[in-house]
């Protein structure tokens, strides 16, 4: 990915041995992406190939593990008491927001608009409370079981005892993060007694660093982007046999932790008597950084709802790394900078230059398409959500709200619908935007987001 000559401009750059011009000839949509336009890309592999990198069994195993840990979680985090130690978020129908969205985007949305409120997930207030916490729990279980301190049949609330904290304090956990993954891992890691280090990129918000230090995690700051923070964390962790590195760019455990969301969401649709079937399709819009959260959730959704769910990934216009990786088939071998994009976005949870190596291969064929959204719109949506439903999230978490406009108001979206004979079913459809985080944003920062949105 070196420039042909020092200081050479974009056209001279080679990506995987080919000039940008050649890539554009093969994939003309790159012009739109590089021109930073909001766009929808339909995935030609959707529903075609299969991958056995992750199986239904892996997800069932994760569901069982989370059930084993529920008594511990309930004891260590009393706020999870209502669900007896399951870390889960509400599902809402948001009709007032739907009206706002129709006005703001000029596109009518037949059917329902739903919100999966992961900003309300207990413990760390973001989707990372699924995958991130899961991988730490799995690590703790493996250590305790292999040292004959714990059996699968035990009541795991014993893990809250000081003896276990002392045991885990001989081990450490490390992770690279733009913020929310670090928060999840820092909080659960410290609670269990692990020494926890979070390597944070330049985009990470100060309050997230402060909060982590307050919780007892060590924070290493980098004046570099996310990929660099991850690589450095990975390198340092490899030197310590007692350190487990949670590798956001390549972790199957994170992925299956996220995937447990699928069956739980299906239960919530059932409880609310909202059908999802051949006559009631479900469109899901997931904000995407490296792809682990949305990829895992997509895997779970496809298991739960099969052909009746259509997952779309949403990325900032300046950081569409997952889209570029899937489109070119190069996955983690590209970065947004290769295509002249700067990875600068207010959606700090999505400010990622390179996608996961694992997710595109394990779940690429399950993703209906990828779309991009501009930062100004994120502020507009954030304010709209406060004004209509009185719910406050972080900018990354509203990215999915661009989904209905792109599906229902673009040529590509209409092509997608007509190719699957979905147009007649739209009045019975549900559009779900996954509100991925914001539960821990301090009041002052919330107010600042809102003020900024009001000015735009
Ligand atoms: C991490 C994150 C995402 C995306 O998850 P990835 O696994 O990085 O794709 C989306 N929204 C928020 C708020 C996040 O913190």
Task: Tell me whether residue 68 is in a domain.
Answer: no
Are 224 and 262 in a shared domain?
no
pLDDT surpassing 70 at residue 8: no
Residue 429 CA, ligand 1 centroid: distance in Å = 26
Average pLDDT over residues 432-441: 97
The two beta strands, 172-177 and 243-246, are: parallel
Return the ligand 1 atom nearest residue 248 CA: 7
Are 241 and 268 in a shared domain?
no
Secondary structure of residue 34 in the 3-state scheme: helix
Q: What is the pLDDT of residues 28-87, one digit of tens each?
A: 999 999 999 999 999 999 998 778 899 999 999 999 999 999 999 999 999 999 999 999
Distance CA 417, CA 66 (A): 37
First to last CA, the chain: 37
Residue 192 C-beta-side C-alpha neighbours within 13 Å? 30
Return the ligand 1 atom nearest residue 296 CA: 7
Q: What is the pLDDT of residues 334-357, one digit of tens each?
A: 999 999 999 999 998 899 999 998
Burial class (CB within 10 angstroms; exposed 0-12, middle 13-18, buried 19+) of 405: buried
The last residue of a domain, from among 229, 251, 273: 251
Task: Tell me whether residue 70 is in a domain.
Answer: no
The last residue of a domain, from among 251, 268, 291: 251
Model pLDDT, residue 221: 93
Residue 31 CA, ligand 1 centroid: distance in Å = 26
Residue 183 CA, ligand 1 centroid: distance in Å = 12
Q: Where are the alpha helices (DSSP H) in 306-343?
A: 321-328
Residue 201 CA, ligand 1 centroid: distance in Å = 14
Residue 349 CA, ligand 1 centroid: distance in Å = 5
Residue 151 CA, ligand 1 centroid: distance in Å = 33
Torsion of CA 411, 412, 415, 417, to 10 degrees: -110
Are 22 and 167 in a shared domain?
no
Are 333 and 382 in a shared domain?
yes
Nearest to 156 by CA among 145, 168, 169, 171: 145
Among protein residues, the one with the nearest Cα to ligand 1's atom 13 is: 437
Are 262 and 380 in a shared domain?
yes
Are 288 and 175 in a shared domain?
no
Mutate which of 123, 175, 180, 402 for ligand 1? The one with the most ligand atoms within 8 Å of its CB, which is: 180
Contact 86, 80 (CB under 8 A): yes
Mutate which of 116, 123, 126 for ligand 1? The one with the most ligand atoms within 8 Å of its CB, which is: 126
pLDDT surpassing 90 at residue 296: yes
Total domain count for the chain? 2
Residue 289 CA, ligand 1 centroid: distance in Å = 5
Task: Tell me whether residue 67 is in a domain.
Answer: no
Task: Tell me whether residue 62 is in a domain.
Answer: no
Beta pairing partners, 286: 313
Task: Tell me whether residue 143 is in a domain.
Answer: yes
Residue 147 CA, ligand 1 centroid: distance in Å = 34
DSSP string of 353-405, one letter each residue: SS--TTHHHHHGGG--EEEEE-HHHHHHHHHHHHHHH-----GGGGGGGGHHH
Task: Tell me whether residue 76 is in a domain.
Answer: no
Among protein residues, the one with the nearest Cα to ligand 1's atom 14 is: 349
Mutate which of 324, 437, 449 for ligand 1? The one with the most ligand atoms within 8 Å of its CB, which is: 437
φ, ψ of residue 352 to 5 degrees: the values are -130, 125
Task: Tell me whether residue 340 is in a domain.
Answer: yes
Distance CA 93, CA 3 (A): 49
Return the ligand 1 atom nearest residue 292 CA: 7
Q: What is the pLDDT of residues 160-180, one digit of tens each?
A: 999 999 999 999 999 998 889
Buried b (16+ CB within 10 A) or exposed e, 9-44: eeeebbbeeeebeebbeeeebbeebbebeebbbbbe
Are 401 and 293 in a shared domain?
yes
Residue 293 CA, ligand 1 centroid: distance in Å = 6
Residue 396 CA, ligand 1 centroid: distance in Å = 8
Are 368 and 396 in a shared domain?
yes
pLDDT surpassing 80 at residue 5: no
Mutate which of 89, 229, 289, 332 for ligand 1? The one with the most ligand atoms within 8 Å of its CB, which is: 289
Q: What is the pLDDT of residues 387-429, one digit of tens each?
A: 999 999 999 999 999 999 999 999 999 999 999 999 999 999 9
Model pLDDT, residue 7: 39
Residue 200 CA, ligand 1 centroid: distance in Å = 14
Q: What is the pLDDT of residues 227-280, one digit of tens each?
A: 899 999 999 999 999 999 999 988 999 999 999 999 999 999 999 999 999 999
Percent of the chain at pLDDT above 90?
Answer: 90
Pocket of ligand 1 (CB under 6 A): 126-128, 180, 287-294, 349-350, 352, 394, 396-397, 436-437
Model confidence at 3, pLDDT cuts 50, 70, 90, reads: very low
Among protein residues, the one with the nearest Cα to ligand 1's atom 5 is: 293
Are 115 and 149 in a shared domain?
no
Return the ligand 1 atom nearest residue 293 CA: 7
Mutate which of 251, 288, 345, 392 for ligand 1? The one with the most ligand atoms within 8 Å of its CB, which is: 288
Among protein residues, the one with the nearest Cα to ligand 1's atom 10 is: 287
The last residue of a domain, from among 202, 228, 251: 251
Contact 241, 270 (CB under 8 A): no
Are 262 and 397 in a shared domain?
yes
Task: Tell me whether residue 73 is in a domain.
Answer: no
Are 322 and 433 in a shared domain?
yes
Return the ligand 1 atom nearest residue 438 CA: 13
Return the ligand 1 atom nearest residue 437 CA: 13
CATH number at residue 153: 3.40.50.1100
Burial class (CB within 10 angstroms; exposed 0-12, middle 13-18, buried 19+) of 279: exposed
Among protein residues, the one with the nearest Cα to ligand 1's atom 8 is: 289
Buried b (16+ CB within 10 A) or exposed e, 159-196: bbeeebeebbeebbbbbbbbbbbbbbbbbbbbbbbbbb
Are 442 and 378 in a shared domain?
yes
Q: Which domain holds residue 289?
A: 9-53+85-123+255-455
Model confidence at 203, pLDDT cuts 50, 70, 90, reads: confident
């Amino acid at each position: 990915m070196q420039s042909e000559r020092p200081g050479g401009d974009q056209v001279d750059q080679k990506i995987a041995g080919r000039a940008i011009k050649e890539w554009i000839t093969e994939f003309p949509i790159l012009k739109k992406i590089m021109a930073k336009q909001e766009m929808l890309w339909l995935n030609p592999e959707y529903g075609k190939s299969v991958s056995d990198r992750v199986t239904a069994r892996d997800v069932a195993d994760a569901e069982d593990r989370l059930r084993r840990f529920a008594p511990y979680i309930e004891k260590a985090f009393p706020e999870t008491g209502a669900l007896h130690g399951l870390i889960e978020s509400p599902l809402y129908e948001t009709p007032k927001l739907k009206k706002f969205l129709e006005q703001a985007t000029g596109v009518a949305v037949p059917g329902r608009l739903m919100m999966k409120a992961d900003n309300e997930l207990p413990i760390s207030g973001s989707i990372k409370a699924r995958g991130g916490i899961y991988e730490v729990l799995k690590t703790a279980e493996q250590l305790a079981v292999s040292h004959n301190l714990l059996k699968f049949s035990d009541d795991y609330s014993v893990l809250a005892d000081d003896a276990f904290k002392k045991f885990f304090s001989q081990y450490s956990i490390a992770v690279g993060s733009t913020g929310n993954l670090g928060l999840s891992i820092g909080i659960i890691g410290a609670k269990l007694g692990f020494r926890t280090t979070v390597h944070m990129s330049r985009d990470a918000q100060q309050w997230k660093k402060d909060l982590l230090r307050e919780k007892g995690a060590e924070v290493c700051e980098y004046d570099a982007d996310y990929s660099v923070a991850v690589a450095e964390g990975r390198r340092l962790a490899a030197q310590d046999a007692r350190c487990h590195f949670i590798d956001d760019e390549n972790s199957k455990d994170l992925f299956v932790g996220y995937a447990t969301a699928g069956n739980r969401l299906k239960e919530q649709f059932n409880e609310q008597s909202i059908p999802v079937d051949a006559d009631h399709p479900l469109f899901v819009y997931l904000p995407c950084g490296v792809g682990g959260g949305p990829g895992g959730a997509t895997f779970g959704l496809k298991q739960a709802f099969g052909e009746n769910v259509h997952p779309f990934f949403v990325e900032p216009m300046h950081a569409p790394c997952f889209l570029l990786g899937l489109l070119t088939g190069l996955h983690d071998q590209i970065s947004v900078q290769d295509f002249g994009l700067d990875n600068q976005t207010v959606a700090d949870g999505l400010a990622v230059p390179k996608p996961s190596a694992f997710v595109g291969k394990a779940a690429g064929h399950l993703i209906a398409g990828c779309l991009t959204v501009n930062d100004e719109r994120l502020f507009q949506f954030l304010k709209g959500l406060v004004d209509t439903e009185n719910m406050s999230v972080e900018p990354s978490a509203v990215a999915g709200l661009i989904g209905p406009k792109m599906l229902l108001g673009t040529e590509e979206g209409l092509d997608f619908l007509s190719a699957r004979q979905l147009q007649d079913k739209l009045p019975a459809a549900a559009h779900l935007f996954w509100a991925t985080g914001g539960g821990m944003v301090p009041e002052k920062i919330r107010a600042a987001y809102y003020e900024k949105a009001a000015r735009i």
